[in-house]
Chain A
Amino acid sequence: MNRLLGIFLVFAPLSLMSFGGGQAIIADMQHQVVDVQHWMTGPQFADIFALSRAAPGPSTLIAALIGWQVAGFVGAVVGTLAIYVPSSLVVYAAVRWWHATKESPLRTALERGLMPVAVGLVFAGALAVLQAAHVNALQIFTTVVATGLLISTRIGVYTIMAVSALAFGILQII
């Protein structure tokens, strides 16, 4: 029980501090998990961080792996809830407020004005993934080719993913 409470007390405050997304709190999380709580070593943390980046979905799901390490499956569930529920309540309140404002000139201006901000952030986010230390030339090449195919052809993204996964796997084996 104490362990579960410990997991909750580490992740719930981080949840509310993750302005701008999960990457904002990874350093704090590592400090808490490795230096303060001694749940795992630095290299272990680095390994599971790589795993959580490689898997689909949000990279903050690393909280599930940490919870699992500390207190088994229940720990994984508690870690996941603690990292997502507090921030989710804030977002839900924001949506409710947004919906209550209805159509107005202010809302139209907000929607139009936020468009270029969102587009800039999409490109910045993609660049951040491409600049991660472990990315090699083959991955960048694949990204460029995939982008081109997705924009200018009707080839399905599942096909492209299957071909890429297969090619990377085979190149690793030979």
Chain B
Amino acid sequence: MDPEPGLADRRIPLLELMGVFFRVGITSFGGSTAAWLYRELVERRKWMDDDHFVTALTLAQVLPGANPVNLSIYVGSQLRGGIGGLAAVVGMVGPPFVVLLFLGFLYRQYGNSAVAHAVLAGLAAVGVGMSLSIGVKLARKIRRPVPILVGMALFTTVGVMHLSMIPVVLILAPFSVGYEWYAARNSEPE
């Protein structure tokens, strides 16, 4: 694929790509995959900018499939085409697959271990903190009133009121995109 603004302009080696997803796969407790990927891909390695990552994140959440897997395919194939998507997914799913089968084995042999459960709960609590801290960092970049309202409306309806995510996104996302479209047209042409 051609290089594109906002994406790394060098060709990222497949092993390096896989290694990053491998590390994220093994550390992303408590549903914090997106936060870990943001830290690794945007903040530390600068393989993509905020806009690319956030678009990937939204589509990964709306399309069918597990969000971490979708995000891996999206990011991997943006950086290195189809083979990159495959490398990213294998890196992302491989380590948790092994960890989970190992936990399943322990569970079958010894039943529930209270200490193991407590340790995993402690890791999950930090994982949620990781998600929240990235959410705050991204939220700070939203400074205009309409986007702020869109973000708050989404959190309130899906997070607090437990409305189904898909219909809410199907209403709010076109509204928000349409607003940006008109805002860009009515400001100065670049």
Query: For A73, A102, A110, A140, which residue has the most chain B Cβ atoms within 10 angstroms?
Result: A110
B 26-63 to A, binary, CB cutoff 8 A, 1 in contact else 0: 11111101110001000000000011101101111111
Given contacts A106-B181, A111-B55, A118-B57, contact A90 B65 (CB under 8 A): yes
Q: How far is the CA of A115 from the CA of B123 in the complex (A)?
A: 28
Q: Is A45 an interface residue (CB 8 A)?
A: no
Contact B101 A64 (CB under 8 A): yes
Which of A51, A80, A95, A157 lies in contact with B97, CB distance below 8 A?
Answer: A80
Contact A172 B118 (CB under 8 A): yes
Shortest Cβ distance from B105 into chain A, in angstroms? 9
Residues of B within 8 A of A91 (CB): 59-60, 63-65, 69-70, 73-74
Q: How far is the CA of A49 from the CA of B126 in the complex (A)?
A: 20
Contact A20 B69 (CB under 8 A): no
Residues of B within 8 A of A98 (CB): 55, 59
Residues of A within 8 A of B58 (CB): 114, 117-118, 121
Shortest Cβ distance from A153 into chain B, in angstroms? 11
Q: Is A58 an interface residue (CB 8 A)?
A: yes
Q: How far is the CA of A56 from the CA of B25 in the complex (A)?
A: 7
Contact B177 A114 (CB under 8 A): yes
Contact B33 A58 (CB under 8 A): yes
Contact A123 B135 (CB under 8 A): yes
The prevalent SS among residues of B at the interface is helix
Q: Is B12 an interface residue (CB 8 A)?
A: no
Which of B82, B99, B123, B135 lies in contact with A164, CB distance below 8 A?
Answer: B123
How many chain B residues touch A (CB < 8 A): the figure is 104
Residues of B within 8 A of A20 (CB): 61-62, 164-166
Query: For A48, A51, A90, A112, which residue has the most chain B Cβ atoms within 10 angstroms?
Result: A112
The prevalent SS among residues of A at the interface is helix
Contact A57 B112 (CB under 8 A): no
Residues of A within 8 A of B180 (CB): 108-110, 112-113
Q: Is A39 an interface residue (CB 8 A)?
A: no
Query: For B4, B57, B179, which residue has the most chain A Cβ atoms within 10 angstroms?
Result: B57
CB proximity to B under 8 Å, residues A134-168: 134, 138-140, 142-147, 149-151, 157-158, 160-161, 164-168
B 105-133 to A, binary, CB cutoff 8 A, 1 in contact else 0: 00100001011011111111111111111
Query: For B25, B65, B85, B134, which residue has the most chain A Cβ atoms within 10 angstroms?
Result: B65
Contact B124 A139 (CB under 8 A): yes
Contact A19 B159 (CB under 8 A): no
Q: Which residues of B are interface residues toward A (Cβ below 8 A)?
A: 1, 4-5, 25-31, 33-35, 39, 50-52, 54-55, 57-70, 73-74, 77-78, 82, 85, 89, 92-93, 95-97, 99-101, 103-104, 107, 112, 114-115, 117-139, 141-142, 147-148, 150-155, 158-160, 164-166, 169, 172-173, 176-181, 184-185
9 closest cross-chain pairs (CB), A and B: A57-B96, A120-B154, A87-B65, A146-B129, A168-B122, A113-B177, A124-B159, A172-B118, A116-B151
